[in-house]
Amino acid sequence: MKMMKAKRIVVTAVILIVCYLLQCTLFPHLALASIKPNLMLIITAAFGFMRSSKEGMFVGFFSGLLMDIQFGNILGFYALIYLLIGFINGLFQQVYYDEDIKLPLALIAASEFLYGLVIYLLMFMLRSEFHFIYYLSHNIIPELIYTIVVALGIYPLILYFNRKLEAEEKRSASKFV
């Protein structure tokens, strides 16, 4: 049983690191009008609603920590934001059905919108920059659309790995009994 938990942690860490490396190396070259998709948010939201609030918070915290190390001025700023997004997405685990892609895409879109709003409030509005409509139309909405388009390709991969791990966990649990 502990072996399966360790395997899940390793697979989650590998997914997290691969997405982080893609976001920091490949996707800056694929930016459209300096807008890049937020892979770390896709991972955080997906693990939240597929697994639980606890796992969403765990993945969100480490996603945010990686973002803090790369882009942040304050260690923990993005970690807290992603942690909260992982927790909120985990609340939808009860209504999540893995065959239906509409709910995951809607949750990823809502998470991206919430992320954009929080970043605007904490990074711009507190500095008395009140250009919300401009920020909404030039940053939040384009990044939301780009993230959803990329999520259409990444989410099925995450779902595939999650199904494989759950199948192994069920087989392992049936052998144990």
Is 30 part of any domain? Answer: yes
Is 151 part of any domain? Answer: yes
Is 131 part of any domain? Answer: yes
Better pLDDT: 173 or 162: 162
Output the pLDDT for position 114. Answer: 96
Q: What 8-state DSSP symbol labels residue 29?
A: T
Q: Can you give the CATH number for the domain in which 165 is found?
A: 1.10.1760
The domain tally of the chain equals 1
Is 65 part of any domain? Answer: yes
* Chain segment 70-123, per-residue pLDDT in tens: 887 889 999 999 999 999 999 998 998 888 889 999 999 999 999 999 999 888
* Chain segment 8-67, per-residue pLDDT in tens: 899 999 999 999 999 999 988 988 888 999 999 999 999 999 988 999 999 999 999 999
CB 23 within 8 A of CB 40: yes
Is 121 part of any domain? Answer: yes
Quote the domain boundaries for residue 55: 1-170
Output the pLDDT for position 153. Answer: 93
∠ CA 51-54-55, nearest 5°, is: 50
pTM of the model: 0.90
